[in-house]
Amino acid sequence: MSQTPLAQAVQPASPTQIHTDATGLVEGDIRIDAPAGPYNAYRAAPQGLGPYPVVLVIHEIFGVHEHIRDVARRFAKLGYLAIAPELFERQGDVKQLANIEEIRPVVASVPDEQVLADLDAALAWATQHGGDIDRVAVTGFCWGGRITWLYAAHQPRLKAAVAWYGRLVGESTANQPRFPLDVAGKLLAPVLGLYGGADTGIPLDTVAQLQQALAKVGSVSTVHVYPDTPHAFYADYRPSYRAEAAADGWQRLQAWFKQHGV
């Protein structure tokens, strides 16, 4: 039985190709209070009182492993207070699981409403610890890419969002009732979607559906597709990593945040 591209890519413990040190930063694990109970998160920020623009970093299905922590430090080096919440913690520590078959049931058991509330709690923590509530952004990868679109339709304080290859359509369930296509006309903040043209898990026709839905409502949100590029092209710990597309996407993200005041 052949593996899916996602299953083949499960290497959350592999070394990252990019390493961002913590020089000049305040970083480490924190505990955040939320309606469903406290949970862990990773925080990275410049040294000093701020206030700093805030960016919420939403992980893939593998949780807050070293790559996600490094991404948070990358933002901190740019002057952001970055928080990467551990959004599956109450249902299970996916970083301790051996394979995709064990991870999927945990992820499926996490309600979207819990995730959105946890992100709200992370934002509240950030604004109480040196973050600027008037300069708030979010970005997410894979599973977190889908959540990025949903959060942009949920949080009115959000100024900008960048979704990396998040699934756009799917079967509605009690825990995951909506997908990005469902909220395209309800976005409260502009979203930049970054997608791979050779992503076998996110067909280009679904990208086209989203683009049409955004155009229908005159949204400023937009999608950029990298031709011949696979899923998870920003994940520098996976074989799917594509340095050129990753670097271009990172520059587009920074420009998008600045364009919208974050």
Query: What residues are labeled active site?
Result: 142, 199, 231
- 171: tokens are 């079967």
Measured CA to CA, the distance from residue 71 to residue 119 in angstroms comes to: 17
Taking a C-beta distance cutoff of 8 angstroms, is the pair 11, 61 a contact? no
CA distances to 13, 15, 72, 98, 191 from 64, rounded to whole Å, are: 11, 14, 10, 16, 23
CB-based contacts of 75: which residues, under 8 Å, 6+ apart? 44, 55, 57, 82
